[in-house]
Amino acid sequence: MAEKRRVPCALSVKAHAFSVEALIGAEKRRRTAREEAAAPGDEHRAEAADLTGSPGPRADGTCTSDRGSEAECSSDGSPESEDALRDRPPGTGSAEDARVDLQGSDLWKRFHEIGTEMIITKAGRRMFPAMRVKITGLDPHQQYYVAMQILPVDNKRYRYVYHSSKWMVAGNADSPVPPRVYIHPDSPASGETWMRQVVSFDKLKLTNNELDDQGHIILHSMHKYQPRVHVIRKECGEELSPVRDIPTGEGTHTSAFPETVFTTVTAYQNQQVLHVGDR
């Protein structure tokens, strides 16, 4: 048998006032009233945003040039950017979420057990072992700098005592030289680029020439130092400089490893160092 169609029954005036149809109609009328009351300038800005796809000017005036530059600048302090950072999964938001793991740590530990010594020369000498790290936890589409500094461990000068085969404090440190920043040659690059490779600092050179103009890291002999690896989010229009301080706070992740502390020398003092690893 053919199913009989149900004929909707008419609602009373009181029932119709609380029906879904009536409620929807009331909401449409309220929305229309709000739109008519809006200022003409707001309507023009909304129409312009719809036509161009641009989010319009921000309150703080940052990163408004084009979509490309906005993509590189992930946090500008605006509520929209802060919400986006909070909503990102852990490990994909900013440089603070980065993880930096030392590669070849077993070799570094073997040197550390006997006291790592690092040769420095006037012309510049590459580090051995070289610093190599693996970086994870970056936003694949964000641009980052990767850089390294080598900073003093303390304010002491050392000497090697042969009869006890130990490094001893010999006095106060020499006057510090302005710290230089070694910027990895691949910088800036996307998080995806950094995470798919081992990041090596094997081209970095150490020198004791305070007048060096080759960009080498200037250190004093017979002092203790420790390398620090920095992962720095690239901001809009901002360039990292070898002679300026590393930015601190949000957007920068710094890693240091205890086993990479070394003493600078112009010639090896502890002969055991010569027999560790394959030089």
Which domains occur in the chain, in start order?
95-275 (2.60.40.820)
At 114, is the secondary structure helix, strand, or coil?
A: helix
Residue type, 79: P
- Do the strands 205-207 and 217-218 form a parallel or antiparallel pair, or are they unpaired? parallel
pLDDT at residue 64 in the model: 37
Q: Which residue, among 169, 183, 164, has the nearest Cα to 224 in the 3D structure?
A: 169
φ and ψ of 183, to 5 deg:
-95, 125
Q: Which residue has the tokens 């112009």?
A: 266
Q: What tokens does 120 get?
A: 């420095």
Instruction: Return averaged pLDDT per consecutive 10 residues of the chain, 279 residues in all.
Output: 45 46 53 52 42 41 38 39 38 69 96 96 96 97 96 96 93 91 96 97 96 95 97 83 86 96 96 73
Q: Which residue has the tokens 């798919």?
A: 196
Q: What tokens does 278 get?
A: 């394959």
pLDDT at residue 3 in the model: 46
pLDDT at residue 153 in the model: 96
Q: Which residue has the tokens 């203790």?
A: 224
Q: What tokens does 97 get?
A: 């979420």
List, in sequence order, every residue forming a beta bridge with 119; answer none if it has no partner. Answer: 265
Q: What tokens does 121 get?
A: 């020369």
pLDDT at residue 27 in the model: 55
pLDDT at residue 245 in the model: 87
- DSSP one-letter string for 119-172: E-BSS-EE-SSPPEEEEES--TTSEEEEEEEEEESSSEEEEEETTTTEEEEEEE
Q: What is the DSSP letter of 23?
A: H
Q: What tokens does 162 get?
A: 């042969």
Contacts of 133 (CB under 8 A, 6+ apart): 100, 101, 102, 103, 198, 199, 229, 255
At 78, is the secondary structure helix, strand, or coil?
A: coil
H-only helix segments in 2-39: 13-17, 20-37
Q: What is the DSSP letter of 180?
A: P
